[in-house]
Amino acid sequence: MAGAVVVYAGMLRLLGPIVRGIRPLPARNNRVDARLVAGAAIFGVGWGLSGYCPGPAIVSLGSGAHSALAFVAAMIVGILAAGAFSGRRRSGCETP
């Protein structure tokens, strides 16, 4: 992990100006709010129960493992649900 952080920091320093010209980096928002904590908790629980992190789960689909298929299917449903919920929140359609 430390090696990856060092490589990433160096490449960001080297390629940062080029990347920012193509796509601006997100604004720094250091707020820890309920949505962040809930999302992290859901992610952690899913990872803990399934034993899969999203990236390796997608790779594991190639092995034909049923558990990987179930995890990726659930992950896709969760992504779609979060997108629908997030869109509803932005449009002001949420119920109090």
Is 64 domain-assigned? yes
Is 38 domain-assigned? yes
How many domains are contained in the chain? Answer: 1
> Full-prediction pTM beyond 0.85?
no
pLDDT value at residue 89: 60
Is 72 domain-assigned? yes
Cα–Cα distance, 43 to 14 (Å, whole number): 32
Is 20 domain-assigned? no
Domain that holds residue 85: 29-91
Percentage with pLDDT > 70 across the chain: 84
Is 35 domain-assigned? yes
Is 96 domain-assigned? no
Q: Vertex 80, ends 78 and 88: CA angle to 5°?
A: 110
Each residue's pLDDT tens digit, 35-53? 889 888 988 898 888 888 8
Q: What is the mean pLDDT of the chain?
A: 82
